[in-house]
Amino acid sequence: MPERLKSDTAVAEEITCILSDVDGVLTDGRIIYSGEGIETKQFHARDGLGIKVWMRCGFAFGLVTARSSVVVERRASELGIAHVSQGAEDKLPAVKEMIAAIGCKPHQVCYLGDDLPDLPVMRYVGLAVAPCDASTDARETAQWVLRSAGGAGAVRETVERLLRATNKWKQVLK
């Protein structure tokens, strides 16, 4: 695990891929069922734009979640996310497979996680990030603890911080 004291620039220069959990990171973690049993989730528009910006800058993005949901499949499709692993109760093997498919090394990966199933992955990658409302263990494992909560712009905050640290955010603004 990288030292917590490294500058954002030193950390960000290595990162070419962001992988993220879904529930508790891209959403606020609540799982809602309608009276008909249909699952719903809320996603923040700024997270979606952040993901698109990250990929437009030439970087990879993927989702790894223990649950399986048509809603996640749809959101990934809307955003053009090609790398999606659902039903991955043990996330580390899924992440290793995804990293190999993307063609990067673990130290080049930023992973956003919020709870106990994310800890092995957070310890494996180059940059572990947790929303401010993540579990205590996830926050203690993360190198970056965000100001944003899960479902409230956590992914966007991460993307901006990485791109600003490497002076790539200026391209985005043009």
Dihedral sign for Cα 25, 28, 29, 32, please.
negative
For domain 8-173, say whether CATH 3.40.50.1000 is its number: yes
Closest to 138 (Cα-Cα) out of 5, 20, 58: 20
Q: What angle do CA 131, 66, 133 make, to 5 degrees?
A: 15
Closest to 165 (Cα-Cα) out of 57, 2, 12, 4: 12
Does 21 appear as a known binding residue?
A: yes
Residue 26 CA to residue 41 CA, distance in Å, equals 9
Residue 4: the pLDDT is 54
pLDDT along the chain (174 residues), means of 10: 68 95 95 89 95 96 95 96 96 97 97 98 97 98 96 97 93 84
Give Cα separations from 54 to 126, 132, 134 (angstroms): 17, 21, 23
What tokens appear for 13 in the block? 């220069």
Which helix (H) or strand (E) element contains residue 132? none
**167: phi > 0 → left, psi -120 to 50 → alpha, else beta; which?**
left
Contact 157, 142 (CB under 8 A): no
Does 23 appear as a known binding residue?
A: yes
Residue 73: the pLDDT is 95
Does 114 appear as a known binding residue?
A: yes
Buried b (16+ CB within 10 A) or exposed e, 66-90: bbebebbeebbeebebebbbbebee
